[in-house]
Chains A and B, each alone.
Chain A
Amino acid sequence: MTLKDDRDERNERNERNFDGENASAGGGTNKNDPAAVPENANGHDEELVSIFRKQAASDSGAGIDNIKNIEYARITGAAKRSPNAFYYYLCAFLLLFIVFMAYNISIVANEKAGLSPSREYYHNAYDAEPFGETRPAVYDDYRDPAAMLMFFAAEGAVLFILMALFAVLVRFAYLKFSGAHKKISVLC
């Protein structure tokens, strides 16, 4: 037996079982049940048919044609735009992050080499003297790698969020002032 034959047989079995259940549950096929709702030849419940038909008739009078044309322009416009906007954003973020990291690293390197007179860049972010069990990230020439990593990660996260907010605001401004299609998603 082929898979198709198995499925046809299963469907026929389900139909027979369903009809039996329908009759016993008071559905339209049981003529002795006073609560049975008449069903038409297609097995439709007449009451529900009339309710749905009334809804469909009212909906057809709502005038969807007015927005159909507007939506057509938006859909074809949106579909033709580049799908790679997110990757451009990610590249821009990584580039800025690398530049920012390079700047931070060069400051640290200069301080270590004694080329920079100020040790305030990281010094202010951490306690100068250890107290209790807490070892600060920076004291004398020591910089705790784990804490520095967290610091750079936090800077990166802030940069990411600020860039995302900036991208959204730019998009809002573009859509408002350019007269472009209004429903284009602002996130992609």
Chain B
Amino acid sequence: MNERTAKEEKIKAAYLSGREKGFEALYDSYYADIFYFLLNMSSDSELALDLAHDTFIKAYKQEGIEEYKIKSWLFKVASNEFFEYKRSYYRKIKYYMNNVYKLIEPPDDAEAKFFERINGIDDELKLRASLIKLDEKDRAVITLRYYNDFSYEQIAEALGIEAGTVMSRLHRAKERLKEVMKDDAERR
């Protein structure tokens, strides 16, 4: 049994003890992965936090999670949240309203310091600045493959596409990312 399967089995067992325990195990195992996936997709740490928040609310309300492949399902919800945000004006308004609220009540110190560190890392490494120039669907595939270490089948499940489509998008995404990184390096 590999490490990933052991994690999923642990979460399924926690759900048998009750939904609260199950959700706690799920959250503990996958929050960081989901947050960084959404951050790679959006290059906006506050948006990634909001979308991760909405993803885990859906996970919390989900009944009967044990019949799904947990990790792929969770990433599927997260990617749907991201694509829904890009499509929906209402979601954009909701996000901007939350930002307006922050003018009245600034975020916690811990949150502010975390965002500062993330922005510092992005300024130094520039990977996310290059990733954002890719098409969203290609970005999702390359992030899941290289950052989250998903197999082709897991990516196909998470994005609701065929494994063959995953491979062709991955190939295109790799070529495009290298081009973009080369152009960015030349400009600097």
Partner-B contacts on A (CB < 8 A): 7, 10-11, 13-15, 18, 21-22, 25, 27, 44-45, 47-49, 51-52, 54-56, 58-64, 66-68, 70-72, 74-76, 78-79, 168, 172, 175-176, 182-183, 185-188
Decide if B146 touches A75 in the complex (CB within 8 Å).
no
A21 CB, min distance to chain B CBs, angstroms: 7
Query: Which among B31, B97, B163 is the interface contact of A11 at CB below 8 angstroms?
Result: B163
Interface residues on B, range: 35 or more
CB-defined contacts of B174 to chain A, threshold 8 Å: 45, 48
Decide if A18 touches B117 in the complex (CB within 8 Å).
no
Interface of A is mostly: helix
CB-defined contacts of B113 to chain A, threshold 8 Å: 63, 66
Q: A14-B164, A59-B36, A59-B118 are in contact. List 18 more A-B contacts (CB 8 A).
A: A11-B162, A14-B162, A14-B167, A15-B167, A18-B164, A48-B146, A51-B127, A62-B121, A68-B27, A70-B110, A72-B27, A76-B60, A78-B53, A79-B57, A79-B60, A176-B105, A182-B105, A185-B97
Decide if B57 touches A63 in the complex (CB within 8 Å).
no
Query: Which among B104, B105, B171 is the interface contact of A18 at CB below 8 angstroms?
Result: B171
Of residues 94 through 111 on chain B, the ones whose CB sits less than 8 Å from some CB of chain A are 94, 97-98, 101, 104-105, 107-108, 110-111
For A187, give the chain B residue with the smallest CB separation. B94
For B171, give the chain A residue with the smallest CB separation. A22
Decide if B125 touches A55 in the complex (CB within 8 Å).
yes
- Return 29 A-B CB contacts under 8 Å, by A number: A13-B164, A14-B162, A15-B163, A18-B164, A18-B171, A27-B171, A44-B145, A52-B147, A55-B125, A59-B118, A60-B32, A63-B114, A66-B110, A71-B49, A71-B53, A72-B27, A74-B53, A75-B27, A75-B53, A78-B57, A79-B60, A79-B61, A168-B97, A172-B101, A175-B101, A175-B105, A176-B104, A182-B105, A185-B94
Of residues 110 through 150 on chain B, the ones whose CB sits less than 8 Å from some CB of chain A are 110-111, 113-114, 117-118, 121, 124-125, 127-128, 142, 145-147
State in angstroms the CA–CA spacing of A52 and B147 once bound together: 6
Q: With a 10 A CB-CB cut-off, give which of A18, A44, A175 has the most chain B CB atoms.
A: A18
A41 CB, min distance to chain B CBs, angstroms: 14
CB-defined contacts of B163 to chain A, threshold 8 Å: 11, 14-15
Partner-A contacts on B (CB < 8 A): 23-24, 27, 31-32, 35-36, 49-50, 52-53, 56-57, 60-61, 93-94, 97-98, 101, 104-105, 107-108, 110-111, 113-114, 117-118, 121, 124-125, 127-128, 142, 145-147, 162-164, 167-168, 171, 174-175, 177-178, 181
